[in-house]
């Protein structure tokens, strides 16, 4: 199983080494203390768990794939986690490239579906925001442009 240093994790996630150490101290990221010289060692499974629980950094790992063998091994490790479930479903524990392709296509379809739902929710939320902004603009306009004494007199005359 691959393991990483604090510096490697910081570089991979484009963050400061002290930030990684803070994650370690708080328990957000699990690691083993090796020695004063070597410091902490983070396993790929601990890193995968952290990335799954902290989506902000999943993109950083994906972006780093083109240039980082470390990030590539993290992504492969993440994929392997899903593949183990596939192996468990196979009686002979042998997985073909067609099985891998089917697994990846299903994951892509599920991600696309989730993304489309989120986009739809975002569009609905944007409409609500626009309506609230119009309401706010209406009241601001009234405050800035209407004669409030005349308005108050009209309200009092109706009562």
**In the predicted model, what is the mean pLDDT of residues 22-30?**
93
Range of the domain at 17: 3-95
Asked if residue 65 lies in contact with residue 75, where contact means CB atoms within 8 angstroms, the answer is: yes
The verdict on 8 and 85 lying in the same domain is yes
Least confident range from 66-70, 147-151, 153-157: namely: 66-70
**In the predicted model, what is the mean pLDDT of residues 53-73?**
61
pTM for the whole structure: 0.43
Highest mean pLDDT of the ranges 47-51, 59-63, 79-83, 115-119: 115-119
Residues 6+ apart with CB under 8 A from 61: 12, 13, 51, 71, 74, 75
Count of beta carbons in the 10 Å neighbourhood of residue 137: 10
Asked if residue 42 lies in contact with residue 29, where contact means CB atoms within 8 angstroms, the answer is: yes
Residue 19 has pLDDT above 80, yes or no: yes
The verdict on 77 and 31 lying in the same domain is yes
What percent of the chain is modeled with pLDDT above 70?
A: 77
Count Cβ atoms within 10 A of the Cβ of residue 10 and give its class: 0-12 exposed, 13-18 middle, 19 or more buried: middle
pLDDT confidence bin for 146, thresholds 50/70/90: very high
**In the predicted model, what is the mean pLDDT of residues 7-27?**
91
Provide the pLDDT for residue 103. Answer: 81
Provide the pLDDT for residue 100. Answer: 79
pLDDT digits (tens, 9 = 90+) for 72-131: 555 555 565 565 555 555 555 677 888 878 888 988 898 899 999 999 999 999 999 999
Q: Which of 40, 70, 95 marks a domain boundary?
A: 95
If one counts the domains in the chain, the total is 2
Q: Which of 95, 111, 144 marks a domain boundary?
A: 95
Residues 6+ apart with CB under 8 A from 42: 3, 4, 5, 6, 9, 24, 29, 30, 31
The verdict on 142 and 67 lying in the same domain is no
CA distance 4 to 18: 15
The verdict on 139 and 82 lying in the same domain is no
Dihedral over Cα of 17, 18, 19, 21: its sign: positive
């Amino acid at each position: 199983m691959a393991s990483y240093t604090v510096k490697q994790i910081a570089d991979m996630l484009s963050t400061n080494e002290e930030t990684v150490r803070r994650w370690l101290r708080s328990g957000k990221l699990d690691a083993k203390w090796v020695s004063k010289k070597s410091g902490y060692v983070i396993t790929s499974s601990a890193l995968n768990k952290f990335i799954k629980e902290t989506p902000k950094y999943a993109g950083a790992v994906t972006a780093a794939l083109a240039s980082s063998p470390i990030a590539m091994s993290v992504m492969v490790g993440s994929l392997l986690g899903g593949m183990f479930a596939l192996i468990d479903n196979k009686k002979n524990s042998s997985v073909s490239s067609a099985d891998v392709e089917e697994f990846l296509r299903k994951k892509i379809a599920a991600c696309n579906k989730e993304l489309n739902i989120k986009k739809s929710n975002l569009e609905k939320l944007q409409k609500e925001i626009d309506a609230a902004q119009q309401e706010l603009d209406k009241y601001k306009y009234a405050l800035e442009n209407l004669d409030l004494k005349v308005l108050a007199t009209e309200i009092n005359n109706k009562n």
